[in-house]
Amino acid sequence: MSKKIIAGNWKQNGNIKSSIKLAQDIILGIKKNNIKHEVIIFPPSIYLLSIKNINKKEIINIGSQNVSAYNDGALTGEISATMLKDSKIQYCLVGHSERRHILDENNLSLCEKVSRLRENNIKVIYCIGETLKEYKTKRTKYILNKQLQSLFKSLNNSKRSNKAIIAYEPVWAIGTGLIPSAKELSNTFGYIHNTVKRYNESNESIKLLYGGSVSPENAQSLMKTQYVSGLLIGGASLIAKKFIDICSTI
Ligand code: PGA
């Protein structure tokens, strides 16, 4: 059976001291609790290399929260996929709702990001999800279809197949304590599964994660949803005990 994936997105939080301590505590917790899942953390990029340094035995995987849509060159403030590769960063998030909705990223630039990452053999966790308004007006499937269509434009064009991961995160569930009902999740993941099958021309193996207000209390039941292979965790990944508790319960 393939490993479950537990990903922790730290967002724009912490400082050098607290980030190293958090990573150390997570590594320790994984060893102590004999956790066999694939654990990936996404610290702020300025701390990536310091954390890589304390993870020499590669107990965890380390990912970047963002990447430039462009190749190296005159682009002030950006970090390219080749720089991530050079620093041996294995994963990158693309399309997180905060980047789509607060930082105005669109499907076109996200497509470019996916392409740059694939060219550099960095695994993509691509986030999709509907806003509260879209959810209330029953446009979830329409929105997910559009987001997936755009993702597969890049995936089907890239020659490299490196096992993309899709994280379904309803925007209204992120940081709110709200989660979809079991029935809604089963319906939506069924839809995502079928849509991926339809667009996935190269038959690349694609895993699906759930994200949005995951906690030690709800992790187990969320993982029971058909087609869910793991969780993307925000707030609860900033507290080592909660994060390890989630890893232990599933
Ligand atoms: P949350 O965030 O777990 O704090 O809801 C999830 C995410 O943004 O990935």
Which atom of ligand 1 is found nearest the CA of 11?
Answer: 8
Instruction: Tell me how far the alpha carbon of residue 215 lies from the centroid of ligand 1, in angstroms.
Output: 10
Print the domain residue range for 197. 5-249
pLDDT at 157: 84
Q: Whose CA is nearest to atom 7 of ligand 1?
A: 234
Q: Is the confidence at residue 7, as pLDDT, over 80? A: yes
Which atom of ligand 1 is found nearest the CA of 236?
Answer: 3
Which atom of ligand 1 is found nearest the CA of 213?
Answer: 5
Question: What does the alpha-carbon distance between residue 203 and residue 197 come to, in Å, rounded to a whole number?
Answer: 8
Count: domains in the chain: 1
What residue spans of the chain are helical by DSSP H?
16-32, 48-53, 81-86, 97-101, 107-119, 132-136, 140-157, 182-199, 219-223, 240-249
Rounded to two decimals, what is the model's pTM?
A: 0.96
| CA distances (Å), origin 30, targets 3, 35, 41, 106, 151 | 14, 5, 13, 36, 32
Question: Does ligand 1 come within 6 angstroms of the Cβ of 13?
Answer: no
Specify the CATH number for the domain of residue 178.
3.20.20.70
| Tens of pLDDT, residues 129-161 | 999 999 999 999 999 999 999 999 888 888 776
Q: Return the active site residues.
A: 96, 169
